[in-house]
Amino acid sequence: MGGARIDPVPFRGSPRPTIGIEWEIALVDKASRDLSNTAAAVFDAVGELRAHDGTPQVTKELLRNTVELVTGVHETVGAAVQDLSVTMDTVRRAADELGVDLFCAGTHPFAQWSTQQLTRSVHYDELIERTQWWGRQMLIWGVHVHVGVSHREKVFPILNSLLLSYPHLLALSASSPMWSGSDTGYASNRALMFQQLPTAGLPFQFENWTQFEHYVHDEMKTGVFEQLGGMHWDIRPAPKWGTIEVRICDGISNRGELAALAALIHCLIVHLDERVERGEDLPTLPPWHVQENKWRAARYGLDAIVIVGSDNTERLVTDDLDDLLNRLEPTARRLHCADELRAVANIPRRGANYQRQRQTAAAAQGDLVAVVDALVQELNGSGPFSDLH
């Protein structure tokens, strides 16, 4: 019985476990602290910036209140974060002339989605036409980390096992407790908002690359998406770059935490890659446990009790994190990010971003302008939480 011809999905492959980072940054008015739809003017002022390998370093996003900072391909987390820092300084100078500050969190505490302007492009126009109200609601920001993987057959064993660490990454980065002026009760409202899009949310746990190729064929044949970029999973293969792209994290508000979480992701993927090389079967969780862990981390953040084994074992996420960081120490030394990985443990000690936002709001008698002020200070390096060490 003949079947439909399945087009291959070529995976470029990366000969080394390189790293690249995308950091979505919002623009806020210096006076009102509301979002500012001035990205086009910022792009005009900055001009075309390219990394050492030709990668565009400042790119457009769905909303005109957002600029995305993108690194070139790097060998170490430190080099990638330094790349972002230089780009950030250029963008900040341009924004300053326009009366605008830079801001990063998973959501803005009080901005209204209905007043935001959209970037016009064929891709974005199609997205909004299809998704309507939910698409227009996507007033959210995140951080995406790419790590190079050498061969396509490693991708899904690594990706599936990486889902065990999903709640750790979300809880550590959670920075979206507020939405449209109200506290949602969640540490990461962004994670649950974003999964409302039809191609977003948790990835499918395919056994191999061939299964993924069949999935891509089915989705393209039925018009679910027309290009792989339309697949907005929280962790996804990026065949064009030869990477696994981790898109779990909420927007991160300072360079110290960005470096720490990028190091954790880099070490996790490389550690799993090395276990695949040794012929090990990597541990996985059933999809229903992965889904529950995502919800628990989004709701409770660092207080989440998560499912850590297919035998239904549960642990407080921060207790499990301590063991995870210890296991990854040798990998961090080899990747020259031992200091950055050690700094991950400081996030629970001083309070994650969602906790700091709530503390700031309480101290200011509920004034959410004060929350934006604090986040702006973190990003520009002048706030008490700008340095993670």
Q: How far apart are CA 274 and CA 276, in angstroms?
A: 5
Condensed to tens digits (0 to 9), the pLDDT of residues 57-82 reads 998 777 789 999 999 999 999 999 99
Give the helix ranges, DSSP H, for 232-387: 255-277, 287-300, 317-334, 338-343, 346-350, 353-363, 368-380
Give the helix ranges, DSSP H, for 163-286: 166-173, 189-194, 209-221, 255-277
pLDDT at 120: 66
DSSP symbol at 230: G
pLDDT at 189: 97
Give yes or no for residue 22 having a pLDDT over 80.
yes
Q: Which of 227, 314, 270, 325 is nearest to 9 (CA)?
A: 227
pLDDT band at 382 (very low <50, low <70, confident <90, very high): confident
Q: Spell out the residues 6+ positions from residue 247 whose beta carbon is closer than 8 angstroms to its own.
A: 142, 144, 232, 233, 234, 235, 236
Centre a 10 Å sphere on the Cβ of residue 106 and count the other Cβ atoms it contains.
34
Give yes or no for residue 131 having a pLDDT over 80.
no
Condensed to tens digits (0 to 9), the pLDDT of residues 289-322 reads 999 999 999 999 999 999 999 899 999 999 999 9
pLDDT band at 388 (very low <50, low <70, confident <90, very high): low
Mean pLDDT of the chain: 94
Indicate the residue type of 259: A
CB 13 within 8 A of CB 219: no
Domain residue extents for the chain = 19-371
pLDDT band at 3 (very low <50, low <70, confident <90, very high): low
Mean pLDDT throughout 9-24?
A: 96
Structure tokens at 279: 């012929």
Instruction: Give the CA radius of gyration of the chain.
Output: 20
Condensed to tens digits (0 to 9), the pLDDT of residues 317-359 reads 999 999 999 999 999 999 999 999 999 999 999 999 999 999 9
Among 112-126, 135-149, 176-190, 297-311, the minimum mean pLDDT is found in 112-126
Q: How far apart are CA 183 and CA 179, in angstroms?
A: 6
% of the chain with per-residue pLDDT over 70: 95
Q: Count of H helices and E strands in the chain?
A: 14, 13
pLDDT band at 115 (very low <50, low <70, confident <90, very high): confident
The topology (CATH level 3) of 19-371 is Creatine Kinase; Chain A, domain 2 (3.30.590)
CB 71 within 8 A of CB 51: yes
% of the chain with per-residue pLDDT over 90: 82
Among 38-52, 167-181, 345-359, 361-375, the minimum mean pLDDT is found in 38-52
Give yes or no for residue 389 having a pLDDT over 70.
no
Q: How far apart are CA 288 and CA 251, in angstroms?
A: 26
Mean pLDDT throughout 97-102?
A: 97
pLDDT at 2: 46
Give yes or no for residue 224 having a pLDDT over 60.
yes
Among 1-5, 142-146, 274-278, the minimum mean pLDDT is found in 1-5
Is 220 in a helix, a strand, or coil?
helix
